[in-house]
Structure 1
Amino acid sequence: MHAIVTDAYGKVRVINVWENKVICTIGGSDDEISDKNWRIGGLYMINPDEAAVIHDSGKASFFEFQNNTRKSILDIGEQAKSFSLHGYQDKLVGCFNGYVAVFNEEKVITKFDTIKASCANSFENLAAYGRINDRCVVYDVEQQKDIWTSAPPPNDELGIPLKDDDSSIEFYNDKMFLVGQAQGGVLVYDLRAGSEPIVRAKVFEEFPAIVMRNFGDNIFAFGDTSGQFRYGHVEYDEEKDKITNVKVDRSFYGMTGGIVDLAKHPSAPIVASLCCSRTIHLFDTSKTLKEAAKVAYTKVMPTCFVLRNDELPNEDSSEADWDALPENGEGIWDNYTPCPQSKKNKE
Structure 2
Amino acid sequence: MNQEPQAGPKANPNRKPPELKPGTVKKLMIGIAAAIVIIYLGSSSFYTVQEQERAAVLTFGKYSHETTSGLHFKWPAPIQQVRIVPAELTQHITIGYRQNGDEVIPVDEEAIMITGDENIVSADAVVTWKISDIHDYLYNISNPEQFLRNATGASIRSVIGSQKLDYAITDGKTAIQDQVRERLIELQSKYETGIQIIDLKFQDIEPPGGEVEDAFRAVTNAREEKNTKINNAAKYENDRIPKARGEAQALIEHAEAEKKSRILNAEGDVAKFNAIYAEYAKNPDVTESRLILETLEKILPNAQIFITNSGSDTVNYLPLNELLRDKGASSSSGSSTSDNTQGGNAQ
Band of TM-score, shorter chain: under 0.3
Greater strand proportion: 1
Greater helix proportion: 2
- TM-score where L is the length of structure 1: 0.19
- TM-score where L is the length of structure 2: 0.19
Rg larger in structure: 2
